[in-house]
Structures are given as C-alpha cells and as structure tokens.
C-alpha cells in the first residue's frame, strides 16, 4: 500500500490525540481502575481498531484491511501473554494499586516508541533482503517450540529478572525505595534521586521490547507493509493498560494460552518460509490472508474455551477436596 508522508503524519497525530484523550479522561488522576472502567475503555480501543480496519477496507481495499485485522489480532493475543510478566513486575516493585495505571500508560508509550524503531529497521531489512524471511520463519518456529517446552514445564513460581539496561540505570543513578505519588525524581538532602515509579516504567517499556523480538517477525509474516505493521502494533498496545485491569484475574485461568500462541507463531513461521521459497522462485503454495486470519481466530477461540473449561473443572475438584477435608475434620472432632 502506497502511503504518503502526509498520511503517515496524520496517522501519528491522530494516535497521539487518542492517547491524550485517554490520559486526560481516564489516566490523569491516580486511582484504582474498576472492572467497569477497564471494560469500557477496552471496548473503545477495540472499536477504534475496528473502525480503522474498516477505513482501510473502504479506501485501500480488502487486502490491506485483512492484513491489518490479522496483524492486530496476532499482536493483541501476544500482548496478552505480556500481561503475565507485567503482573510480576508490579509485584516485584510493590507498585500501589492507584499508581499502576500510570505506570502502564507510560511504560506502554515507551514500548510503542521502541517498537516503531524496530518496525522501521525490520521494514528496511525486509525490503532489501528477501532471504531474511527464512531467518524470521525459522526464529518463529523455534520460538513456538520454546513456548511449548515452557508450557509443559509448568513452572509454579516465576520471578521477574531485570534486564541489563534496567540494572545499568539503577546502578548509575541514585534512587530511593519509596514512592512519592507519581513523581519520577525527588530532591532529598540536596541530592536528586530517582523514584521507583520511573524504574518500574522503564521495566515495563523495555521488557515489552523483548517480547517484540517475536511479535515483530510474526506480523511481518502477515504483511510487509510498514504502515499496517505500525498501526496494528499501535492499536494492540494502546489498549493494553485497560486490558491489564480487565482480565488480570483471568490470566491464571488461561492455562492453554501458551499452546495457542505457539501454534500461531509456528503457523506464521511456516507461512514465512513458504513466502521465502516463493520469492526464491520455488513453486510452493502460499497461505492467503483470509486463511491466516481464520486460523488465528480459530486457535484463539479454541484455546480460550479449553482453558476456561479446564480451569473451571480444576476449581470444582479443589472445592470438592476442600469439602471432603472439612467433613473429615468434623468427623474427627465428633
């Protein structure tokens, strides 16, 4: 899709305006985000993404629109997996509930800027070197296998480990271990100190970029249009803050999410390899966008349904075991 510099500029201005509205209406004053508020804003961001996709359908055609929706759904599902780590980060830094929405807002903005750099670099590489699709495809297939291995390991206790950048920042700049409202820096005894608020924001933003190492190649497997790649990432990330509060309690119930994401990544990896072979002159079938979109939606629907079923069954079993233990204790007492 041929996108002019003017269109790029208008798109970025529009996204900035939406972020500003989100901040001044829902995120300016620190507060505990209710399920109702999170649900409304999540619906708003999904609706905006849907309207943008329909706009592409009207003005650019079915192909760009299909690529956007496939990319948005893929990035959104991969972003849900990020929320597990965000929960660990919030716990490690003991972020007060009323400040969590501010942390996520700034952290996601940092992630969006860094992802834009990744996307620009990826688009330049893809347009110059067609063989990079072999690397992207192999990497996604390997990532899919790694996800399955991690899911099968079923590690009960996970702990967030700070990345090198975050460790360097904490080591280089003096900091305090107490929160001072939403302030990023304070002056104490004549010394300028960094607060945990800034550190946890950096943790959210830089950690999300690590996840982009698989999500960016994944969306390039669905479309090579940098405009669609960027906008799909932007809409997927901008609603992530509200999604955190909306499904925070459901994350532990999505026990099959890693399996679903591994299937999606593996599928896109195969699609990339087939595309690379086709570009090399090998006559192989290519997977169309409608098929890709159908597979992605079907996998997410099935894994969500099976996750909720297994979680509900497990809860019933545990509830039954608890009742049995209570009866046994009452019998002993008698």
* Burial class of 116 by CB neighbour count within 10 A (0 to 12, 13 to 18, 19+): middle
Band of the pLDDT at 215, cuts 50, 70, 90?
Answer: confident
Question: What is the rounded end-to-end Cα distance, in angstroms, of the chain?
Answer: 78
The alpha-helical segments, DSSP class H, found in the chain are 5-22, 35-59, 62-92, 97-128, 132-153, 164-172, 196-220, 226-238, 240-247, 257-279, 289-333
Cβ atoms of residues 271 and 221 within 8 Å:
yes
Alpha carbon 166 to chain centroid, angstroms: 20
Alpha carbons 116 and 48: distance in angstroms, whole number: 20
* pLDDT tens sequence across 271-308: 888 888 877 778 888 788 788 888 888 988 898 888 88
* pLDDT tens sequence across 23-38: 787 667 777 778 788 8
Mean pLDDT of the chain: 80
Cβ atoms of residues 108 and 206 within 8 Å:
no
> pTM of this prediction?
0.76
Alpha carbons 69 and 262: distance in angstroms, whole number: 19
* pLDDT tens sequence across 223-239: 889 999 999 999 988 88
Burial 10-36 (b: 16+ CB within 10 A, else e): ebeeebeebbeebeeebbeeeeebeee
pLDDT exceeds cutoff 90 at 187:
no
């Amino acid at each position: 899709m041929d996108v002019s510099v003017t269109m790029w500029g208008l798109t970025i201005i529009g996204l900035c305006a939406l972020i500003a509205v989100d901040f001044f209406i829902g995120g300016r004053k620190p507060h505990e985000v209710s399920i109702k508020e999170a649900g409304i804003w999540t619906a708003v961001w999904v609706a905006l993404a849907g309207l943008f996709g329909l706009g592409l359908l009207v003005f650019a055609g079915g192909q760009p629109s299909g690529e956007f929706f496939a990319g948005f759904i893929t990035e959104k599902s991969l972003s849900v997996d990020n929320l597990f780590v965000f929960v660990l980060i919030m716990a490690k830094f003991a972020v007060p509930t009323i400040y969590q929405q501010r942390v996520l807002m700034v952290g996601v903005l940092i992630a969006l800027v860094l992802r834009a750099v990744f996307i620009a670099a990826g688009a330049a590489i893809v347009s110059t070197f067609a063989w990079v699709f072999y690397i992207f495809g192999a990497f996604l297939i390997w990532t899919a296998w790694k996800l399955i291995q991690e899911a099968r390991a079923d590690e009960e206790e996970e702990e967030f480990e700070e990345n090198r950048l975050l460790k360097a920042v904490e080591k280089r700049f003096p900091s305090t271990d107490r929160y001072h409202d939403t302030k990023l820096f304070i002056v104490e005894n004549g010394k300028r100190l960094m607060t945990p608020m800034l550190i946890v924001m950096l943790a959210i933003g830089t950690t999300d970029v690590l996840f982009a190492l698989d999500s960016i190649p994944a969306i390039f497997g669905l479309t090579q249009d940098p405009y669609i790649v960027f906008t799909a990432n932007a809409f997927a990330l901008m609603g992530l803050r509200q999604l955190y509060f909306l499904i925070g309690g459901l994350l532990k119930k999505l026990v099959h999410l890693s399996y679903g994401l591994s299937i999606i990544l593996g599928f896109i990896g195969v699609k990339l390899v087939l595309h690379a072979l086709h570009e090399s002159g090998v006559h192989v079938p290519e997977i169309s966008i409608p098929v890709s979109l159908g597979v992605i939606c079907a996998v997410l629907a099935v894994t969500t349904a099976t996750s909720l079923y297994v979680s509900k069954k497990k809860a019933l079993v545990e509830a039954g075991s608890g009742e049995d233990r209570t009866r046994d204790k009452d019998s002993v007492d008698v």
